Structures are given as C-alpha cells and as structure tokens.
Amino acid sequence: MTPNATGADAVIDAVTAVLLIVGALMSLGAAIGLLRFPDLMSRMHAATKPQVLGLFLVLAAMGLQMREWWVWPILAVAWIFQLLTVPVSAHMVGRAGYRTKHRHPELLSADELEAVVLRAAGERAAEKAQEADSAMPRNGNGGRNGRNAGADGGPSA
Amino acid sequence: MKDIVLIVTAVILSIAAAGAIYRIAVGPSLLDRVLASDVLLAILGAALAIDMAVNRHLNNLVLLVALTLIGFVGSVTVARFVADRRGQVNDS
C-alpha cells in the first residue's frame, strides 16, 4: 500500500483494505463454525467459506495492489484450481463421513442418500440369501423348518 | 492505513487459526481434524496473500498457487483411510 496516498491511489487502497479485512473475516467465520456447529456435515459447510470466497477476496486485493496486468491471470489460475480441488476433498470427506456414521440423522431435513443405501443393502441381502439357498438347499430348508416347528411348538407345549 | 490493515487482519487470522487448531486438538473424530486442518491451510493461504498485497511483493505467489493445486491431496488420502474402518461406528 502507498503511504499518504491521494486520489485514485487512496480509493484503491481503501477498497483493498475492505477486501482484505472481509477476506480475513471469512476465515474467522469458518473457525467459529468449526467450533460451534454440532456435526461433520455442518462443519464442512462452514469450512468452505475461506477456501472459496475468502481466497477470492484476498486475491482480488492482491491484484488491485500490484497494478500489473500479468498478475491477474496467475491469480485467476490459483482461484480456479482452488475451485476445482476443494469439491474433490469435500466429496471424499463427506462420503467417508456418511459411511462411518459421522452424522446425526435427526438434524437432517432431507437424506437423499438413505433410500439408495437401503435399496443397495436390500439387494445385497437378497443376493446373499439366493446364493445360500442355491448352494445348500437341504440345510437351508432344514434350518427353516426346524425353526418354524419350534415356534409352533412353543406355545402349545 | 497499511499498519491498521495489517494489525486487524493479523488479529482476525490469529483468532481463526487458534479456533482451527483447537478443533484439530479436540475434534471428536478423525474427519473433523482433517476438515480443521483444511481450514488452517486456507488461513495460511490468506495470510500469505495478505502479506503480498500489503507489502506489494510477489515472493509467495508460487507457493500460493502450489497450495491451491495440491492442498486437497491430504484430506482425500485421509478420507480414503477412514472409509475402510466401517466396523467402529458412531464415535462422533
């Protein structure tokens, strides 16, 4: 920043200061969200703020201060790569969090993955039962008949 | 102006980094820690960019671009490892 700036420099410095402070506040918001949100999914929501918008604001401030046109493409590359890579890690962390039961179902307003998971589990169970039946039918029937007989015989005895 | 901006952003980023480090230390599960370390990385990138903007130099630019390029590898790796331990449920 230019010391004792006047005219256009002062305006650019003021805009830069606002951008930098708002960009830093994004990091603060993410930290507060990490500390206060109850589960992994909502913490992931808070964590994206400095990664995308905060980085954008800070990079824009940098571009304003440099006053050289060739800096802008480099800053754009940095931001675009951040936009490309952040969803990858968020996807992996979210998927791992869902699979390892790091979620509180009572806090979700919609769980669109649950139906898919239940259907896949049902299909897998049906497949397994079919395999077991075709592999050794006598044992399977015998076990089932025995259990039925026991259940029938229990109350009457 | 320059000093004010530097001090204000330094205080804000320090508080934010302290919060992220607290979540790394306490964080009930491994994924919370990974997420907090991601946030800490973003705070570090913001600090590098603020230093460059205020002092008008480009020394950290390559580091910043590299950070945005490969910063996601760590959390993806850890997420892959977590996905394999499905037996131990609900320690969050």
Higher pLDDT, A140 or B24: B24
Say which of A13, A59, A89 has its CB closest to residue B72: A89
Helices and strands per DSSP (H, E), number in chain A:
6, 0
Q: What chain A residue is nearest to B4 in terms of C-alpha separation? A: A17
Whether residue B90 lies inside any domain: the answer is: no
Q: How many angstroms separate the CA of residue A144 from the nearest CA in chain B? A: 29
* Unique residue bearing structure tokens 């370390």: B37
Query: Are B68 and B45 a contacting pair, CB within 8 Å?
Result: yes
| Nearest chain A alpha carbon to B66 | A78
Q: Which two tokens stand for residue A64?
A: 């304003």
* Side chain identity at residue B30, one-letter code: L
The whole-number pLDDT of residue A150 equals 43
- Confidence tier at A97 by pLDDT (50, 70, 90): confident
Confidence of residue A143 (pLDDT cuts 50, 70, 90): very low
pLDDT of residue A154 exceeding 50, the answer is no
Residue A63 has pLDDT above 80, yes or no: yes
| Boundaries of domain holding B40 | 2-83
Measure in Å the smallest separation between the Cα of A134 and chain B Cα atoms: 29
| Alpha helices (runs of H) in chain B, residue ranges in sequence order | 2-26, 30-55, 61-70, 73-83
Does residue A148 register a pLDDT over 50?
Answer: no
Inside any domain, residue B28: yes
Q: For tokens 């769980």, what's the residue?
A: A111
Overall number of domains in chain B: 1
Is there a domain that residue B88 lies in? no
